[in-house]
């Protein structure tokens, strides 16, 4: 049985004080509640240490990105080892904002996936189509290409200790959520793409997940949780999402 996982992507929001306060509220809410989900918080890089220092029993630490390189003259980059050093266990790779704003293509995203896995971090691989691609009927084709770029590396146990997040680009930060049926269709397809490991791999949905729509998404058989942006910045709302799987 796959556990539900809810990951918070804070993106480039907040201050040190905000991060500390949010963590206190999340710890209190999640430790006293009956939430059965695993919870991962991915703060901006400079606040990894702050969050690591405040992290309670109910929360794990993740990063929003990482370098595909192990170390060296790569100004502004952060390696998997550095993230591990701060206690991170997860790293998001290939978020659509990285793909569209910073030119990360499938090959680079796959290299980041390999770097995370190789170092012992659990990658959260983001895949998803744009509105144009959906309207052109290319959703499954695009998602398959994103997955196949990782398969092509021929890593040992490619999908073991890994998480996939299906995030339709048109649903991110727009308030437009995919319907549970639309998401389920793609999640089921992704699971098939993963082969034998598919039945064990957590596949999250992302894109305008809120307390009001989380439960109906999590009720679908192939939706194992969520990657949450905007709603993860509000403690009460995020805790409700974490508990929506119960
Ligand atoms: P959103 O972001 O929940 O604000 O739509 C999701 C994401 O970008 O991971």
Residue with tokens 């890089």: 45
Residue 124 Cβ contacting ligand 1 at under 6 Å: no
Once rounded to an integer, what is the mean pLDDT over residues 87-99?
98
Q: Write down the pLDDT at residue 141.
A: 98
Q: How far does residue 227's CA lie from ligand 1's centre (Å)?
A: 7
Q: Write down the pLDDT at residue 78.
A: 98
217, 180 Cβ separation under 8 angstroms:
yes
82, 39 Cβ separation under 8 angstroms:
no
Domain boundaries, the chain: 5-243
CATH topology for 5-243 is TIM Barrel (3.20.20)
The yes-or-no verdict on residue 57 having pLDDT over 90 is no
Atom 7 (ligand 1) nearest CA: 229
Q: How far does residue 166's CA lie from ligand 1's centre (Å)?
A: 11
Strand pairing class (38-42; 122-127): unpaired
Q: Write down the pLDDT at residue 146.
A: 98
Which residues make Cβ contacts (< 8 Å) with residue 18, sequence separation at least 6? Answer: none
Q: What is the mean pLDDT of the chain?
A: 96
Q: Each residue of 115-134: pLDDT tens digit?
A: 999 999 999 999 999 999 99
Please state, in angstroms and rounded to a whole number, the distance separating the CA atoms of residues 48 and 20.
11
**How many helices (DSSP H) and strands (DSSP E) are in the chain?**
10, 8
Residue with tokens 């990482």: 66
Atom index in ligand 1 nearest the CA of residue 209 equals 3
The yes-or-no verdict on residue 194 having pLDDT over 90 is yes
Residue 9 Cβ contacting ligand 1 at under 6 Å: yes
Buried b (16+ CB within 10 A) or exposed e, 58-94: bbbbbbbbbbbeeeeeeeeebbbebbbebebebbbbb
What sections of the chain are H helices per DSSP?
16-32, 48-54, 80-85, 96-101, 106-119, 131-135, 139-151, 180-193, 211-218, 235-243
pTM exceeds cut of 0.85: yes
The yes-or-no verdict on residue 139 having pLDDT over 90 is yes
Positions annotated as catalytic residues are: 95, 167
Query: 177 falls in which pLDDT band (50, 70, 90)?
Result: confident
Q: Each residue of 203-218: pLDDT tens digit?
A: 999 999 999 999 999 9
Q: Each residue of 26-55: pLDDT tens digit?
A: 999 998 877 889 999 999 999 999 999 998
Q: Write down the pLDDT at residue 34.
A: 79
């Amino acid at each position: 049985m796959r556990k539900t996982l809810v990951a918070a992507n804070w993106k480039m929001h907040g201050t040190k004080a905000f991060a500390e306060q949010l963590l206190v509220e999340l710890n209190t809410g999640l430790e006293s509640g009956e939430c059965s989900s695993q919870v991962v918080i991915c703060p901006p890089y400079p606040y990894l240490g702050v969050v690591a220092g405040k992290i309670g029993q109910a929360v794990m630490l993740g990063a929003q990105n990482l370098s595909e390189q192990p170390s060296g003259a790569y100004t502004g980059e952060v390696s998997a080892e550095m993230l591990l050093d701060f206690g991170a266990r997860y790293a998001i790779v290939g978020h659509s904002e990285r793909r569209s704003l910073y030119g990360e293509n499938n090959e680079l995203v796959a290299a980041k996936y390999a770097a995370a896995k190789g170092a012992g971090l659990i990658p959260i691989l983001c895949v998803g189509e744009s509105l144009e691609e959906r309207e052109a009927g290319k959703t499954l084709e695009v998602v398959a290409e994103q997955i196949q770029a990782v398969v092509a590396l021929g890593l040992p146990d490619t999908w073991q200790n890994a998480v996939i997040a299906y995030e339709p680009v048109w649903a991110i930060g727009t308030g437009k959520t995919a319907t549970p049926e639309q998401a389920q269709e793609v999640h089921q397809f992704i699971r098939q793409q993963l082969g034998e490991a598919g039945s064990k791999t957590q596949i999250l949905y992302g894109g305008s997940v809120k307390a009001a729509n989380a439960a109906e998404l999590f009720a679908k058989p192939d939706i194992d949780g969520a990657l949450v942006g905007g709603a993860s910045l509000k403690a009460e709302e995020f805790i409700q999402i974490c508990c929506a799987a119960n």
